[in-house]
Amino acid sequence: MEKRLFLKGALASALGIGMAGVLAGCSRETKASFQGVDVTGAEYARDFSLPDAQGRQRTLKDFAGKVVVVFFGYTQCPDVCPTSLQELAEAKRQLGAEGDRLQGVFVTLDPERDQPEVLKAYMESFDPSFVALRGTPEQTAAMAKDFKIFYKKVEGRTPQSYTLDHSAGSYVYDTQGRLRVYQRYGSGPQVLTADVKALLTEKA
């Protein structure tokens, strides 16, 4: 009798441990932990639709299966834009073979000066796989509003020497096209790399 009770108790204990392991495994697989700002479930910046430098209309669906990083700026930006794009290129390099699953998307806030050939050359100076989007001034303003991007023209000495004050963070989407992370400017490539890895290994 005592032997039967012992076996039943041992079996129940083993099943309990097994179930706990299953539940723990599920909890690990459902959601990633980020070093950037977790914006999972955000009601804004859910998609975009703008032509690229080749004139092809682009949306998030074009990059399904990849982690997409969207950054707003302009090619004559003296510091913030080249720094952010260089960090994105470095994050892609740090990912090694997985770097092909990271897609950089640059949205110009200066369509007047950032003509298609200018954008193409600018992207190639950081990474040929990065995509630049250029809309009309009205399309640009609408997308910036949806993404909560601030930008304002600052007049220069000549009509064409103006600069732009603008928001400097990046938006990171998971492989299913959902906005998940906001990367603050200056976080560094290591932080971005860590969050991209988390999204690439995340279980739906």
Any residues with CB less than 8 A from the CB of 139 and at least 6 apart, and which? 50
Confidence at 32, pLDDT banded by 50, 70, 90? confident
**pLDDT score of 18 more than 50:** no
**pLDDT score of 40 more than 90:** yes
Q: Which is nearest to 175 in space by CA: 202, 137, 142, 141?
A: 202
94-115 confidence digits (pLDDT tens): 999 999 999 999 999 999 999 9
Q: Count the alpha carbons within 13 Å of 171 in the hemisphere toward its beta carbon.
A: 26
Q: Cβ(174)–Cβ(195) under 8 Å?
A: no
112-146 confidence digits (pLDDT tens): 999 999 999 999 999 999 999 999 999 999 999 99
Q: Cβ(39)–Cβ(181) under 8 Å?
A: yes
Name the residue with tokens 């897609």.
103
The one-letter amino acid code at 55 reads G
SS3 52: strand
Average pLDDT, the chain: 88
Structure confidence at residue 53 (pLDDT): 95
Q: What angle do CA 32, 199, 171 make, to 5 degrees?
A: 105
41-80 confidence digits (pLDDT tens): 999 999 999 999 999 999 999 999 999 999 999 999 999 9
Structure confidence at residue 204 (pLDDT): 62
Name the residue with tokens 């200018």.
118
pTM: 0.84
Angle between helices 189-201 and 80-94 (to 10 degrees): 50
Q: What percent of the chain has pLDDT over 90?
A: 83
Confidence at 203, pLDDT banded by 50, 70, 90? confident
Structure confidence at residue 5 (pLDDT): 40
d(CA 158, CA 169): 29
Name the residue with tokens 């004050």.
165
Structure confidence at residue 109 (pLDDT): 98
